[in-house]
A and B are shown apart, each in its own frame.
Chain A
Amino acid sequence: MLRYYKEAPLLEESMVGSRSSRPTVHHGCWATVLLRNERVDQVGYRFVPNSVDASNDCEAIFANCP
Chain B
Amino acid sequence: MMQRQHKGRRVLRLALLACCLPFLTYGPPPAHGLEKYGRPLPSMDEPNHETREEEETLFGGYLLTGAFVKNPTFAARPDNTGLVGMRHMLHLETDLYKQYLTFYTDQNFFSDRTNGWITLSEWDATFAFTGVIDRFNWRLQYEHDAPLDRRGLKQAYADALVTARFQATQDFTWWRRTFPNQNLTAYAGAGWLFHNSQYFARPNNTGRALFRYVAHADLDLYKNKVVLYADTNLFTDREANNTLNPTELDWIVGIALRWKDTELAFYREEDRPLDQAGLVQKYYAVQLRFAFDVSKGAMERVGLRR
Which A residues have a C-beta under 8 Å from some C-beta of B? 1-7, 9-12, 14-28, 33, 35, 38-40, 42-53, 55-56, 58, 61-62, 64-66
Contacts and interface: CB of A to CB of B under 8 A. Distances in A.
B10 interface: yes
Interface of B: 1-6, 10, 13-14, 16-21, 24-25, 29-38, 44, 60-62, 64, 74, 89, 91, 93, 95, 99, 102, 104, 106, 108, 124, 126, 128, 130, 132, 134-135, 137, 139, 141, 143, 145, 165, 167, 169-170, 183, 185, 187, 214, 216, 218, 223-224, 229, 231, 233, 250, 252, 256, 258, 260-261, 263, 265, 269, 271, 287, 289, 291, 293
A61 B231 contact: no
Given A20-B126, A65-B20, A49 B13 contact: no
Contact of A11 (B74, B132, B250, B258): B258
Nearest to A12: B224
Contacts of B143: 19-20
A5 B35 contact: yes
A34 to B, nearest CB: 10
B17 A53 contact: no
Contacts of B34: 3-5
15 contacts: A4-B34, A7-B35, A9-B258, A11-B289, A15-B218, A15-B229, A16-B289, A20-B143, A33-B17, A33-B24, A44-B4, A50-B1, A52-B170, A62-B20, A64-B20
Given A5-B35, A7-B35, A19 B145 contact: yes
Given A25-B99, A40-B21, A65-B16, A15 B216 contact: yes
B221 to A, nearest CB: 13
Contacts of A44: 3-5
A46 B5 CA distance: 9
A1 B13 contact: no
A48 B139 contact: no
Given A18-B252, A20-B124, A25-B99, A10 B17 contact: no
A17 to B, nearest CB: 7
Sorted nearest first, the 3 A-B pairs with minimum C-beta distance are A50-B2, A53-B170, A20-B126
Contacts of A56: 183, 223-224
Contacts of B64: 16
Given A9-B261, A20-B124, A21-B106, A43 B13 contact: yes
Contacts of B93: 10, 14, 23
A65 B17 contact: yes
Contact of A53 (B3, B25, B124, B167): B167
A9 B106 contact: no
A46 B17 contact: no
Given A38-B25, A40-B21, A46-B2, A23 B102 contact: yes
B289 A23 contact: no
B33 A3 contact: yes
Nearest to B214: A22
A61 B17 CA distance: 11
Given A18-B250, A50-B1, A52-B170, A7 B36 contact: yes
A38 B21 CA distance: 8
B271 A18 contact: yes
A17 B231 CA distance: 8
A17 B287 CA distance: 12
B106 A27 contact: no
A23 B287 contact: no
